[in-house]
C-alpha cells in the first residue's frame, strides 16, 4: 500500500501508520481500556473546569491558569484517543491526509500550550511567594486572561506555519512509523530539499523550549533564594504551593523525552508493548495525572 510515485501533499490522499501490531482478539480488550482511560480524562478535567468556573472563591489568576491547563488536557486527549479507538478496531491503519494534518496541528499545539501554561503558572507562583504584597496589582484577573489568550494564539500560529511548510513538499512515500501523525516523520518522506523545514523546525523547537523554560528557571531560582533565608513555616508553605506544579512539569518533561526517543531514534529493538506505552505516555499520563495532582494538593479545590 506504500506509494512509490512522487506525490505532492496537496494530491496525497492518505498515510499508512505501520507502528500498529496485530492485536487479534485482544483488540476489544485494548479498545475497552483505551475508552475507559479517555472517558476518565474527559470527565475529571471537565468536572474541574466546571468547578472552577462556578465557584466564586476560585476566581483567582492561579485557578484561571489551571482551568486553561485542564481545557488543554481535554483538547489534547481528544486529538488522540478517538482516532486511536478507530485504529485499534481497524484492519487497515490508514488515515486521510487532511485529518492527519488536523491531528498534527492539535497534538503539536497541545504540547506548546501545555509547556507555556506551566511556564506562566511558575511565574504566578513566584509572584505569590516572593512578592505577595504586589501580587494582586501585578497579576490581575484580566491580565491572567490575556496571558491565557496569548498562550493559545501563539501556539496555534506556530503550528500553522509548521504545517504550511510541510504542505509544499513532494513525498516519495506515505508510510509513517508511528501510532499517529507526526510532522517530523512526514518531512522525512520528502524527495525534495527540506532545508527550510529543518531551519524553521530547529528555530521553532528552540523557541518552544527557551520561551517557557526561561521564566520557569527564573521563577524557581527566586523561590529557592527566598526559601533559603525564610522560616521553616514559610519553606513548608512554598513547598506545598510549588509541589503540584513541579510534579506536573517533571511528568511533562518525561513525556517530551519519550516522544523524542520515539520519533528520532530506531526503537525496533524495544518490545512492542513498551513502544506502545512510550508513544501514548504523553497523551495518557499528563491529562490523567494533572487533575489528580492539583485536585489532591490544592486545598480549595479539594
Q: Are 63 and 16 in contact (CB under 8 A)?
A: no
Q: What is the pTM of this model?
A: 0.87
Q: How confident is the model at residue 149 (pLDDT cuts 50, 70, 90)?
A: very high
**In this predicted model, which residue has the larger pLDDT, 8 or 268?**
268
Helix (H) or strand (E) run with residue 101 in it: helix 97-130
> Which pLDDT does position 2 carry in this prediction?
45
Mean pLDDT for 129-156 is 90
Closest to 12 measured CA to CA, from 155, 130, 169? 169
Q: What is the mean pLDDT of residues 168-182?
A: 84
Give per-residue pLDDT as tens, 194-222.
888 888 888 888 888 888 888 888 888 88
Domains of the chain in sequence order: 16-165+174-297 (1.20.1070.10)
Q: How high is the pLDDT of residue 32?
A: 92
DSSP, residue by residue, 225-274: HHHHHS-HHHHHHHHHHHHHHHHHHHHHHHHHHHHHHHHHS--TTS-HHH
More confident residue, 171 or 85: 85
Of the listed ranges 40-44, 45-49, 181-185, the one predicted with least confidence: 181-185
Q: How confident is residue 1, by pLDDT bands cut at 50, 70 and 90?
A: very low
Strand spans (E) along 62-106:
94-96
Of the candidates 193, 200, 201, 135, the residue with the CA atom closest to the CA atom of residue 169: 193
Residue 113 confidence (pLDDT): 94
Set of cell numbers at residue 211: 520561551
271 pLDDT higher than 70? no
Amino acid at each position: 500500500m506504500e506509494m512509490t510515485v512522487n506525490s505532492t501533499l496537496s494530491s496525497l490522499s492518505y498515510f499508512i501508520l505501520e507502528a500498529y501490531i496485530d492485536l487479534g482478539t485482544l483488540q476489544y480488550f485494548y479498545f475497552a481500556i483505551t475508552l475507559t482511560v479517555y472517558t476518565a480524562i474527559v470527565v475529571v478535567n471537565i468536572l474541574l473546569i466546571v468547578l472552577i468556573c462556578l465557584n466564586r472563591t476560585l476566581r483567582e489568576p492561579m485557578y484561571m491558569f489551571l482551568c486553561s491547563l485542564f481545557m488543554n488536557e481535554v483538547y489534547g486527549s481528544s486529538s488522540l484517543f478517538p482516532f486511536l479507538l478507530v485504529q485499534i478496531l481497524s484492519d487497515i491503519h490508514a488515515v486521510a491526509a487532511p485529518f492527519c494534518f488536523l491531528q498534527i496541528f492539535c497534538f503539536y499545539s497541545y504540547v506548546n500550550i501545555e509547556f507555556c501554561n506551566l511556564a506562566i503558572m511558575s511565574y504566578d507562583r513566584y509572584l505569590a511567594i516572593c512578592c505577595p504584597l504586589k501580587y494582586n496589582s501585578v497579576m490581575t484577573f484580566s491580565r491572567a486572561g490575556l496571558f491565557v489568550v496569548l498562550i493559545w494564539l501563539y501556539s496555534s500560529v506556530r503550528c500553522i506555519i509548521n504545517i504550511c511548510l510541510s504542505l509544499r513538499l513532494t513525498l516519495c512515500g506515505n508510510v509513517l512509523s508511528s501510532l499517529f501523525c507526526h510532522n517530523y516523520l512526514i518531512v522525512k518522506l520528502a524527495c525534495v530539499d527540506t532545508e527550510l523545514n529543518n531551519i524553521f523546525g530547529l528555530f521553532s523547537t528552540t523557541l518552544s523550549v527557551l520561551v517557557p523554560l526561561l521564566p520557569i528557571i527564573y521563577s524557581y531560582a527566586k523561590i529557592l533564594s527566598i526559601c533559603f533565608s525564610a522560616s521553616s513555616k514559610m519553606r513548608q508553605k512554598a513547598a506545598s504551593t510549588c509541589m503540584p506544579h513541579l510534579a506536573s512539569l517533571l511528568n511533562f518533561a518525561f513525556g517530551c523525552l519519550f516522544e523524542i526517543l520515539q520519533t528520532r531514534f530506531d526503537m525496533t529493538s524495544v518490545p512492542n508493548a513498551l513502544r506502545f506505552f512510550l508513544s501514548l505516555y504523553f497523551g495518557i499520563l499528563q491529562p490523567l495525572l494533572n487533575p489528580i495532582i492539583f485536585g489532591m494538593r490544592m486545598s480549595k479545590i479539594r
